[in-house]
Amino acid sequence: MGMRKKHLQKRHLVELFMKTIMRVSFVIVAGALGLILWTIISRGLPALTWDMVTQVPKGGYYMGKEGGILNAIIGSAYLATGGTILAILLSLPIALYLKAYLGDSKWGGCVRLSLDVLWGIPSVVYGAFGFALMIVFGLRASLLAGIIVLALIELPIMTRAMDEVIRRMPEDLEHAALALGSTKFEVALRVVTRQMLPGIVTAVLLAFGRGIGDAASVLFTAGYTDRISTSLMRPTASLPLAVFFQLGSPYPEVQQRGYAAALILTIIVLAVSLGSRWLSARLNKYTVK
């Protein structure tokens, strides 16, 4: 009897111990997020001024004189918007094709595998790939090259996210539309796309957030400039590189502005992430339950 009681106690102690270290780990992970946000806000906020978001760099900006990073904010908006639009044009057909025509077939699995593998390729490799292509075609760093490389980076993220939600669509809806005589294409366009709109919007915004924050790929392909870009064929500035370059400066004032730029980037990315949650909840009202 004594033995048995001891055994009981031991395994319950183990249970308690595991539960405690699990809770502690959870607090550590959540705490890491808090710590990152706190670091960025507490160091970025003092350096954040109205000029930062409304002015382009003026003469001597990189030695601590006047100006802002409007060029980088607008450049990033161009890059991520262009990349996202291009990625939608490719992702939506792939996701719909996977649902409507391929299902869980072997070729469907192959496409999904290659999308997952593409997702895992680091952005520096995409950047180097873009750079290699640019040498071949004799192109210089430009907004267009940046947009194309970002579209390639966003493609797997967007398609897989769309695929995951589209797959979960109730089959009844599809069957009902097919029974009424719709073609598969009509079902895909008019039923699947509408019913799964909340998920599609989430997927698009997820990819947009990833695109706007990516530095290693635009470093190779989009270049950097102090002006607001006006042409697809000219280089453009971007927020991640504005952060990166300003932190590398020996001037403390410029480094401070790097922290402020990091704060701006973080705010944009978090707003997109939270906004997609809100938007998808709102759009969910208009779907068939």
Residue 104 as a binder of another protein (CB under 8 A): the answer is yes
Strands (E), the chain: none
Question: Can you tell me which of 86, 129, 169, 197 binds another protein, judged by CB under 8 A?
Answer: 129
Q: Which is nearer to another protein, 49 or 183 (CB)?
A: 183
Site for another protein contains 63 (CB under 8 A):
no
Contact segment (CB under 8 A) with another protein among 65-73, 78-86, 171-179, 212-220 equals 212-220
Nearer to another protein, 143 or 264 (CB): 264
Residues 6+ apart with CB under 8 A from 163: 94, 95, 98, 99, 112, 115
- From 67-75, 77-85, 214-222, 229-237, span contacting another protein (CB under 8 A): 214-222
Nearer residue to another protein within complex by CB, 29 or 230: 29
Q: Is 40 in the site for another protein (CB under 8 A)?
A: yes
Q: Give the residue among 103, 80, 133, 121 at the shortest CA–CA distance from 271.
A: 80
* Closer CB to another protein, 106 or 230, in the complex: 106
Question: Considering only residues 74, 85, 118, 232, which one is a binding residue for another protein as defined by CB under 8 A?
Answer: 118
For residues 66 and 284, which CB has a smaller minimum distance to another protein in the complex? 284
162 with 199: CB under 8 angstroms?
yes
CB of 154 or CB of 230, closer to another protein: 154
Q: Decide: is 197 part of the binding site for another protein (CB under 8 A).
A: no
- Written as one string, the DSSP assignment of 11-50 is HHHHHHHHHHHHHHHHHHHHHHHHHHHHHHHHHHGGG--H
Rama region for 67: left / alpha / beta (φ>0; ψ in -120 to 50; rest): left
Q: What angle do CA 231, 118, 113 make, to 5 degrees?
A: 145
Does residue 232 touch another protein according to CB under 8 A? Answer: no
Q: How far apart are CA 131 and CA 123, in angstroms?
A: 12
Contact pattern for another protein over residues 236 through 255, marking x by CB under 8 A = ----x--xx--x--------
Segment 140 to 159, residues that bind another protein, using CB under 8 A: 152, 155-156, 159
CA 270, 284, 118, 189 torsion-angle sign: negative
